[in-house]
Every structure is written in structure tokens, then in C-alpha cells.
């Protein structure tokens, strides 16, 4: 099976694409090999997968390459989740980071990713054997600083930006508390570093809302359309939904009706980072099935 992609979306244009994906069966049931190539046939990805429809589920070794054919990532998956030692490289092939992921995921509240090695672009190692001072400033001028001890955040961490700042306390990788200070001097106390957006009552209530309010378009009924619509949208800081993207198309007005229902949806509880509401992308699917 060969699929072509342009800007992350499937395209039928075989002469203008960013990369192509080839999936081949193996002698092992439910195990496939995935290859991705840039237009000049340079390898982009080599991986094993256990599932490819509707979504890719990686399992085993995954290797990623840049357009110059340089290895940029060498990681391991189990049932679609990163496990074990995972290494990342700069575009020139030099080592950037090594992380160790907890395969069991049996440490509630603790970071699942243990940082083993960190090297900056100039070759300076700031994390060695899990220990060191982390300090980074992003393109927007926001600076974060704190210590890693035995692979995990520990002690007081500080973040400083143009409009906000925060101070958080960690104990062996476990987040304990945080305080954000806004531009007007007001402070927000929080007990979770990050919160995902949530529909009031949970996702079961959200899908009940969709079931009650989605009206099967007459054209879709006449053409006996069945299937799932895979949708990405943004939950805004005020809880409203915007920026709808459809990963597939069933046609016959099914997308337009989905947009109508989502536009009329009650506001969500917005996602938060460091106690402050932020825009968050969210993925759902709507199951359309005629009896």
C-alpha cells in the first residue's frame, strides 16, 4: 500500500508531495513494516507497526531521517507508546538528547520520561547521567530554569516571560505546587502543571450532545452514507471551539452538519498550562451509521 502526503494530509497528486508512505505485510500476523520516502527517494522513516487503519500504531524500533538522510531519531514503541531508551540527534547527526521512558507507566503523578543526556547545539553537555541545570529561552523570549536530579525535575523551577511568570516545586519528578504571576500582579495558585480541555460532564456527555443534535443530512441518508468523521479542532481560552480540520471526507453534507453542531456546542472547560488558560488542539470522531 502506497500513500502520498502533502502538508500532513493525504494527496492524490503523485507529482507534488512532501513524502510517500509504503506499508508492507510481514510473515508475522498483525505486524507490518512502514517506510516513508522524500520525493528524491531519501529515507524519511523506517518503523514497525501493528495497525494502520484508521491510525498508525507503532511497535518496536522507529528511525527518523531528515532530507539529507541524517538520522535524527532512534526510538522504541510498544503499542503506540514510547518505551525504553530513545535518542534524538541534531540535523548534523550529533547527539542532542537521550530519554528513558517507563515501560510500565506505574508511577502515578511522576514524569514518565527520565532525561539521561542533554547536549546543546554547541556541544556542551548540561545533563549528564540524569543530573544538571536546565535553562532554555524559546523564540518568544520565555525562559525556563531548574535542576534535574537522577533524570527528573527536582526543587524549585522558574519560568519568566513578557507577560507572565511562574514558580513550581517538584520532588523527584513529582509536581507539588505552582504559582503563576500575571502582568497585573495577580497570582494564580494551581495543583496541576497542565490540564487538558474538558467538556462539562466528561466526554460521555459530549458524545451524548452530538448524538442528540447531529442531524443526518438528507443527501447522506439517500446515499446510505456510513463511517466515521475524524475531526481536529481548537478549544479556545474561553472554551469555544474553532479551527475545524477534517482528516477524511464522507461527503453529502456530513462535514457541514458536524461544523454546525460543534459551533453550537456549549463551551468547554479550557485547557491550562501553569494555571493559565491556553488554546489546545483536540481530536474526536463522529460515528455515522444508518440502521
In a domain, 271, yes or no: yes
Q: 20-29: long-range contacts at Cβ-Cβ below 8 A with a sequence spacing of 24 or more?
A: 21/45, 23/49, 23/52
Residue 10 lies in a domain: yes
Q: What is the pLDDT of residues 55-106, one digit of tens each?
A: 899 999 999 999 999 999 999 999 999 999 999 999 999 999 999 998 654 4
Q: Which three cell numbers stand for residue 53?
A: 487503519
Residue 63 is assigned to a structural domain of this protein: yes
Three-class SS state of 220:
helix
Answer whether residue 280 is part of any domain.
Answer: yes
Please report whether residue 62 resides in a domain. yes
**Which of residues 93, 109, 134 is at a domain's end?**
93
* DSSP one-letter code for 267: P
pLDDT tens digit string along 218-231?
999 998 989 999 99
**Domain final residue, candidates 58, 74, 93:** 93
Q: By residue range, what is the domain housing residue 16?
A: 1-93
Is residue 190 within 8 Å of 181, Cβ to Cβ?
no
Asked which of 77, 93, 109 is the last residue of a domain, the reply is 93
Give 30-44 pLDDT, tens digit per residue: 899 999 999 999 999
Which CATH number belongs to the domain containing residue 237 in this structure?
3.30.2420.10
Number of structural domains in the chain: 2
Amino acid at each position: 500500500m502506497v500513500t502520498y502526503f502533502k502538508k500532513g494530509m493525504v494527496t492524490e497528486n503523485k507529482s507534488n508531495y512532501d513524502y510517500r508512505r509504503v506499508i508492507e505485510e510481514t510473515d508475522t500476523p498483525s505486524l507490518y513494516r512502514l517506510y516513508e520516502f522524500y520525493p528524491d527517494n531519501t529515507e524519511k522513516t523506517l518503523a514497525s507497526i501493528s495497525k494502520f487503519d484508521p491510525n498508525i500504531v507503532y511497535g518496536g524500533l522507529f528511525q527518523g531521517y531528515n532530507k539529507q538522510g541524517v538520522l535524527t531519531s532512534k526510538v522504541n514503541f510498544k503499542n503506540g507508546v514510547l518505551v525504553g531508551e530513545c535518542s534524538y540527534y541534531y540535523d548534523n547527526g550529533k547527539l542532542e538528547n537521550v530519554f528513558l521512558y517507563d515501560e510500565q507507566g506505574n508511577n502515578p503523578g511522576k514524569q514518565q520520561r527520565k532525561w539521561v543526556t542533554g547536549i546543546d547545539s554547541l556541544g556542551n553537555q548540561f545533563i549528564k547521567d540524569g543530573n544538571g541545570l536546565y535553562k532554555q529561552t524559546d523564540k518568544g523570549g520565555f525562559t525556563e530554569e531548574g535542576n534535574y536530579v537522577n533524570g527528573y525535575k527536582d526543587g524549585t523551577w522558574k519560568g519568566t516571560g513578557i507577560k507572565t511568570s511562574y514558580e513550581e516545586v517538584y520532588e523527584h519528578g513529582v509536581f507539588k505546587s505552582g504559582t503563576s504571576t500575571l502582568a497585573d500582579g495577580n497570582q494564580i495558585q494551581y495543583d496541576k502543571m497542565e490540564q487538558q480541555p474538558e467538556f462539562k460532564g466528561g466526554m460521555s456527555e459530549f458524545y451524548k450532545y452530538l448524538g442528540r443534535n447531529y442531524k443526518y443530512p438528507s443527501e447522506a441518508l439517500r446515499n446510505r452514507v456510513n463511517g466515521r468523521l475524524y475531526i481536529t479542532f481548537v478549544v479556545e481560552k474561553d472554551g469555544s471551539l474553532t479551527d475545524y480540520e477534517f482528516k477524511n471526507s464522507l461527503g453529502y453534507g456530513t462535514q457541514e452538519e458536524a461544523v454546525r453542531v460543534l459551533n453550537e456546542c456549549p463551551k468547554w472547560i479550557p485547557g491550562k498550562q501553569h494555571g493559565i488558560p491556553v488554546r489546545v488542539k483536540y481530536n474526536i470522531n463522529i460515528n455515522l451509521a444508518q440502521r
